[in-house]
Amino acid sequence: MGMSVLITSPMFLAIFKANPRNKFVIFSVITALFIFILVMGYYGIGYMQYGYRYALDFYPFLFVILLFAVKKSFPFWLKVLILITFFTNAYLFLF
């Protein structure tokens, strides 16, 4: 019955480490929130699906923020989190 963005893509938790004073980060946050609000108002979210399909509308802006958050190095905890997410998604995708 759909899944949370935090289950399918918890790597976005790292966006909180981005510099909130960077103009690209600010504009990406504003744009992602604007698209998120518009998408949440849409009724047809689908009954049986894997993940929240309309999140793909604002994911590119979250990736921009993520790039600024891990600009210098990709932390080990994020690599582990992505690996755990991969196996969790592979398991959940089967059901």
Q: Where are the domains of the chain?
A: 5-94
Instruction: Residue count of the chain, please give it.
Output: 95
Say which residues have a Cβ less than 8 Å from residue 1's Cβ, sequence separation at least 6.
Answer: 47, 48
Q: Is 80 exceeded by the pLDDT of residue 12? A: yes
Confidence (pTM):
0.74
**Any idea what the Cα angle at residue 17 is, between residues 15 and 19, rounded to 5°?**
100
Judge contact between 70 and 58, C-beta under 8 A.
no
Residue 51: per-residue pLDDT: 57
Q: CA 38, CA 91: separation in Å to the nearest integer?
A: 31
- pLDDT digits 0-9 by tens, 16-52: 889 999 999 999 999 999 998 888 777 665 555 655 6
The answer to which of 41-45, 60-64, 75-79 has the lowest mean pLDDT is 41-45
- The larger pLDDT score, comparing residue 60 to residue 56, is at 60
